Amino acid sequence: MSASNSKILVLNGPNLNRLDLRDTNTYGSMNWEQLVTFINSCAKELGLEVEVKQSNSETEITESLQGAAQSHTPVIINPAAFTHYSYAIRDAVELIKAPVIEVHLSNPMAREEFRHTSVVSGVANGTIAGFGPNSYHLALIAMSKLLSK
């Protein structure tokens, strides 16, 4: 599978649509619309096509992941708060045979102890965290490499 003929699902969990209200020291100064524009720009620069989605619903995220599994779509996922406890999302990620990369704007390991556990990491190809919006850029670079193998 080449990177040029595969659309990548960039799936984001709860509260990322309200970055404008969140702590800028933790999440940076981009709002949701700016983050989506940044992700699309990075993808275009790499010759990748992305679909960026966000949901506050565990059910919707699970259904999007099941759809990606069905269509063999690669996924970059920021599960947000669901990272730490959603076994439904974890199990849906496990269904995906295409590459999956977990991303986080902040570094969960540098935050509260409850954020130190990711139930998703064990079923993803890798995790990129702590680089703000550049976490997505780095994930797109990594995905491009995975898809070109």
Predicted confidence at residue 20, as pLDDT, reads: 76
The span from the CA of 140 to the CA of 92, in Å, is 21
Q: Establish whether 27 is a catalytic residue.
A: yes
Predicted confidence at residue 26, as pLDDT, reads: 66
Residues 27-73 pLDDT 10s: 667 899 999 999 999 999 999 999 999 999 999 999 999 999 999 99
Please write down the long-range contacts of 108-112, taking CB distance under 8 Å and 24 or more positions apart.
108/83, 111/26
Residues 97-125 pLDDT 10s: 999 999 999 887 666 776 667 899 899 99
Predicted confidence at residue 3, as pLDDT, reads: 42
Q: What average pLDDT score do residues 88-101 get?
A: 98
User: pTM (2 decimals)?
Assistant: 0.91
Residues 70-92, buried b or exposed e (16+ Cβ, 10 A)? Answer: eeebbbbbbbbebbbebeebbeb
Tell whether the model's pLDDT for residue 15 goes beyond 80. Answer: yes
Q: Which of 104, 116, 136, 137 is catalytic?
A: 104
